[in-house]
């Protein structure tokens, strides 16, 4: 079985340097052995906020939410959605202060993860390591990988909240740059012809993306205002003759393709066949199998212990014998078609159990695509202990206290019920006092933002 990991480094000018000696994973599989794609695909993502060792600096939850929305909108036309599996904070000066990629981050063992941050990597999600806008730039670990590093700016545009996040996700899901194989790249010997006759076996291996001589952004081949390619663009060195393909034909690439080397403001979409290629990779590449939300799930022989547990599947969930939702815990099941509870399933008196049939990744239902208002949710087989922030008293009959120091800033609290409905959202609570007397008795889940950090936990209202 062929596995590959291809390092892609986006440097100044937004150039992505793709090594030339990495074969096409899908091209190595005989067509009759390729598994065909189906319906919708939901991909788990896990976001790591990079901060200084003292916990300061780094990006905000708002930046993450914007990035997830961009992913949702860019991939939805191809029936690919994203489910936020969780977040964490990495306090590490050495990692936080990196400003380059090539010399620091690598995947020496070719397992689809960056060696330098592998200890933080969640095994069944695509891991997005989020740096601030003054650090690093953008990189995906491989064509068919599970890690993205992103931060910095290019052309004055914050990369994490631009289509560059979708560019890097495209690499993880199997897409090459449109200029892959270009004669402008050292060692490349398979440039795509402008007439398209070799587009299935050279270039980016996608037949509906025009040949690209790239890297166009650095060579000044784009009018950034109009996003129009300058057909008289010069050779790879930026001087001399006009850039042409091996047959002497002038390039005219689509600069609005996300996988082009255009400036971030010009990137807009993936082509239909790029979408099909990503779906084939999700179906066939073993590196990507663990990051997919499964079609079916069978649960048995478990007693819940975490305050809240969510299982999402595309088709059906069957709960068999000896599955118990224990006291003061909550279980939520979501499936596209069927949820079946067999004898032996038990939800105890003081527990909470919910089951929903959702058209996952549907046109109107976005419940499974980057749940922005339910970041406590976790997806199938991804159960994480919550990061605790002490609140008291707990249980409470009405008043809740958050410890706030004099130098704390940007403090807010939101509370959701077991249905994921927000029941309270408060900024800068006076003296840290929260009144929840009006809420019905039961279990609630809080999210506290303080000094740019995020804390989560459970509170019981009696």
Does 329 share its domain with 452?
A: no
Residue with tokens 């958050």: 402
**Residue 381 falls within a domain, yes or no?**
no
Does 308 share its domain with 436?
A: no
- How does pLDDT run across 71-80, given as a tens digit for each residue? 989 998 998 9
Does 166 share its domain with 181?
A: no
Residues 147 and 117 sit within 8 Å (Cβ to Cβ):
yes
**Residue 55 falls within a domain, yes or no?**
yes
Does 352 share its domain with 276?
A: no
Nearest to 58 by CA among 375, 410, 376: 410
pTM of this structure: 0.70
Please state the rounded mean pLDDT for residues 182-203.
Answer: 84
**Residue 316 falls within a domain, yes or no?**
yes
Does 453 share its domain with 349?
A: no
Does 121 share its domain with 63?
A: yes
The Cβ of residue 12 has, within 10 Å, a number of other Cβ atoms equal to: 10
**Residue 212 falls within a domain, yes or no?**
yes
Does 184 share its domain with 146?
A: no
Does 257 share its domain with 299?
A: no
Q: In the listed set 284, 319, 344, which residue is the last one of a domain according to the structure?
A: 284
- How does pLDDT run across 203-262, given as a tens digit for each residue? 999 999 999 887 665 556 777 778 888 777 766 655 566 778 889 898 889 989 999 888
pLDDT value of residue 405: 73
- How does pLDDT run across 349-382, given as a tens digit for each residue? 778 888 877 654 533 233 333 332 333 333 322 2
Angle between helices 164-172 and 61-75 (to 10 degrees): 60
**Residue 378 falls within a domain, yes or no?**
no
CATH number reported for the structural domain that contains residue 21 in this entry: 3.40.390
Domain of residue 196, residue span: 177-262
Does 187 share its domain with 301?
A: no
**Residue 418 falls within a domain, yes or no?**
yes
- How does pLDDT run across 110-156, given as a tens digit for each residue? 666 777 788 888 888 899 999 888 876 777 777 888 989 898 888 88
pLDDT(387) > 60: no
Count of structural domains within the chain: 4
Does 152 share its domain with 256?
A: no
- Give the pairing type, strands 138-140 and 8-11: antiparallel
- The overall average pLDDT reported for the chain is 78
- How does pLDDT run across 301-353, given as a tens digit for each residue? 999 887 777 777 777 888 988 899 988 888 888 777 788 888 888 888 778 88
Please state the rounded mean pLDDT for residues 405-434.
Answer: 79
**Residue 233 falls within a domain, yes or no?**
yes
């Amino acid at each position: 079985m062929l596995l590959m990991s291809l390092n892609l480094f986006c440097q100044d000018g937004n150039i992505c340097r793709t090594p030339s000696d990495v074969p096409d994973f899908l091209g190595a599989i005989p067509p009759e052995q390729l598994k065909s794609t189906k319906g919708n695909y939901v991909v788990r993502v896990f976001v790591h906020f990079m901060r200084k060792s003292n916990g300061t600096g780094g990006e905000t939850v708002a930046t993450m939410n914007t990035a997830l929305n961009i992913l949702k909108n860019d991939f939805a036309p191809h029936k690919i959605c994203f489910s936020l599996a969780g977040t964490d904070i990495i306090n590490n000066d050495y990692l936080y202060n990196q400003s380059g990629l090539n010399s620091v981050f690598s995947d020496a063992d070719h397992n689809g993860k960056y060696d330098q941050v592998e200890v933080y990597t969640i095994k069944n999600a695509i891991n997005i390591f989020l740096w601030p806008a003054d650090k690093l730039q953008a990189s995906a670990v491989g064509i068919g990988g599970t890690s993205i590093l992103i931060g910095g700016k290019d052309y004055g545009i914050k990369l994490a909240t631009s289509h560059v996040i979708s560019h890097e996700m495209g690499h993880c899901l199997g897409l090459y740059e449109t200029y892959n194989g270009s004669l402008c790249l050292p060692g490349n010997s398979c440039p795509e012809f402008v007439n398209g006759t070799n587009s299935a076996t050279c270039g980016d291996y996608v037949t509906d993306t025009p040949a690209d001589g790239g890297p166009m952004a650095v060579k000044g081949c784009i009018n950034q205002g109009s996003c129009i390619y300058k057909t008289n663009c010069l050779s790879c060195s930026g001087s001399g003759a006009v850039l042409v393909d091996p047959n002497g034909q002038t390039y005219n690439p689509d600069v609005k393709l996300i996988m082009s080397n255009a400036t971030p403001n010009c990137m807009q979409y993936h082509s239909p066949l790029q979408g099909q290629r990503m779906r084939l990779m999700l179906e066939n590449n073993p590196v990507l199998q663990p990051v997919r939300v499964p079609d079916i799930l069978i649960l048995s022989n478990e007693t819940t212990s975490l305050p809240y547990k969510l299982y999402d599947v595309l088709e059906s969930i069957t709960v068999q014998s000896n599955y118990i939702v224990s006291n003061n815990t909550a279980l939520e099941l979501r499936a596209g078609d069927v949820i079946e509870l067999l004898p032996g399933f038990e939800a105890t008196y003081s527990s909470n159990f919910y089951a929903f049939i959702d058209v996952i990744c549907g046109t109107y239902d976005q419940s499974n695509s980057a749940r922005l208002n339910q970041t406590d949710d976790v997806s199938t087989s991804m159960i994480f202990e919550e990061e605790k922030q002490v609140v008291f008293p707990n249980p409470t009959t009405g008043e809740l206290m958050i410890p706030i120091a004099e130098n704390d800033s940007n403090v807010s609290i939101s509370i959701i019920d077991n249905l994921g409905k927000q029941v309270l959202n408060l900024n800068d609570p006076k003296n840290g006092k929260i009144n929840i007397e009006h809420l019905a008795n039961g279990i609630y889940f809080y999210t506290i933002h303080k000094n740019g950090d995020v804390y989560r936990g459970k509170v019981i209202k009696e």
